Amino acid sequence: MIKVVFFARVREQLGMDELALQAEFADVSSLRTHLAKRNDNWARVFADHNLLVAVNHEMASSATALTSGDEVAFFPPVTGG
């Protein structure tokens, strides 16, 4: 199982804060592709190339490998001052 969590604007756009998936995914890219296929709204969210991702609380890339039990978080870029 992969736990997927959404933060900030991503959570608002998708209307949910987390999702548990029983499927296996080789990497973050394959997970993003799977999520984007849910509907047009999800496709728009996951088409954003600035979308950030963390796996098990560590910043990750599309090539980051996934294993069962991982937590994957998606969130928009953050700025502050």
pLDDT digits (tens, 9 = 90+) for 49-71: 999 999 999 999 999 999 999 99
The reply to whether 24 falls in a domain is yes
The reply to whether 15 falls in a domain is yes
Domain that holds residue 45: 2-75
CATH of the domain at 59: 3.10.20.30
pTM of the model: 0.94
Tell me how far apart the alpha carbons of residues 16 and 32 are, in angstroms, rounded to a whole number. Answer: 16
CA 61 remoteness from chain centre = 11
Q: How many domains does the chain have?
A: 1
**pLDDT reported for residue 78:** 78
- CB-CB contact of 1 with 69 (8 Å): yes
The reply to whether 81 falls in a domain is no
